[in-house]
Amino acid sequence: MTEVILHQPLDMHLHLRDGEMLRTVAPLSAHSFSGALIMPNLVPPVTDGQMLRDYRQQILEAIGDETFEPYMTLFFKPEYDFDFLAPLAEELTAVKLYPAGITTNSEGGVSGFDVEELRPALSAMSELGIPLCIHGETGGFVMDREKEFVPIYEELAVAFPDLMIVMEHITTAESVEALDRHPNLYATITLHHLLITLDDVAGGMLRPHLFCKPIAKRPEDREALLRVALEAHPKVMFGSDSAPHPRHAKEAPGCAAGVFTAPVALPALAELFARHGKLENLQRFVGTNAQENYELDPPKKKVRLVDTPMKVPEKYGDVVPLFAGEEIGWSIASVE
Ligand code: NCD
Ligand code: ZN
């Protein structure tokens, strides 16, 4: 039997939703992860200190007695300034910027990327040491949206050299290349973008549960992502982008974007890293890199993963997970 022990695994991009959905999905992440960066795209989005505190409280109630730190984010608004952000800096781990309308619940995001317009908010974040996480896609052709956004990432990285900028859920070779050109650019990578390409989504029968933003790209893009994930490039961190939607919203003429991966993330990552002979790098990809880059001190948790197969449930509540009804080669043996 092969095993790997992870200490303080972290998921640096997670959608927990609210209400009933939160109560269904939060315990699944809280069980196996020490903490996660919680996305703010609720309806309405999390845009002030009171909403942030209320949401954190809801999450803590939903996870019961699991040991888990929700690292909170605010939904970026160009109006944020130093006086607004300074009193929140202790409660915030990052601010998440969405281009307006680019993905689920992002209507109130940023239109146009005018550095001068963004300067007050981004200078304040830079001064306060608050990282900026970005959903980097333009409104262009769906396969080119992320590639077209790379110059915007680079412009921001140069204009705000002391601001930590995280390129969220990168899916292209171009984003991987940009990482090493700027000391303040970082990235998260999902599980599903390490596993699938557009062919898996739409190359045969359409598979709505694999449809997400950014859409999975070409084999050579996946190769580039795999390369930096498997070597646990120090600026690359695991962020599942686990994004649950009720089954009726996925199996529908207008399919919502998002892949629900939280309950299978660690076993599937272990299987992937083992298959490539890189298990020794998994700790850095799924914990240590994020701890160092974000300067986090997550609650202690020791997760033992073994190469004993796991049968993935068809559904969790009303949500269909990645690998629903299938077997994956690894499972969680214990969590302490
Ligand atoms: C996310 C969601 O459903 O909130 N969807 C997705 O496809 N990833 C939003 C996001 O991160 O883009
Ligand atoms: Zn997301």
Cα 228 from Cα 185, distance rounded (Å): 14
Measuring from atom 5 of ligand 1, which residue has the nearest CA?
A: 258
238 and 187 Cβ atoms separated by less than 8 Å: no
Preceding omega of 244 cis (within 30 degrees of 0): no
Ligand 1 proximity of 258 Cβ (cutoff 6 Å): yes
Q: Which pLDDT does position 112 carry in this prediction? A: 86
Q: Over the stretch 114-169, which tens digit does the pLDDT of each residue have?
A: 999 999 999 999 999 999 999 999 999 999 999 999 999 999 999 999 999 999 99
Q: What is each CA distance from 245 to 26, 104, 108, 115, 169, in whole angstroms?
A: 13, 10, 20, 34, 18
Ligand 1 proximity of 212 Cβ (cutoff 6 Å): yes
Burial class (CB in 10 A: 0-12, 13-18, 19+), 178: buried
329 and 276 Cβ atoms separated by less than 8 Å: no
Structure tokens of 80?
A: 């944020």
CA 267 to chain centre: 17
Ligand 1 proximity of 41 Cβ (cutoff 6 Å): yes
Q: Which pLDDT does position 18 carry in this prediction? A: 98
Measuring from atom 4 of ligand 1, which residue has the nearest CA?
A: 104
Low-confidence ranges of the chain (pLDDT < 70): none
Distance of CA 200 from the midpoint of ligand 2 (Å): 20
Distance of CA 213 from the midpoint of ligand 1 (Å): 6
Known catalytic membership, residue 83: no
Backbone angles phi, psi at 110, to 5 degrees: -90, 130
Q: Which of 241, 297, 307, 318 is catalytic?
A: 241
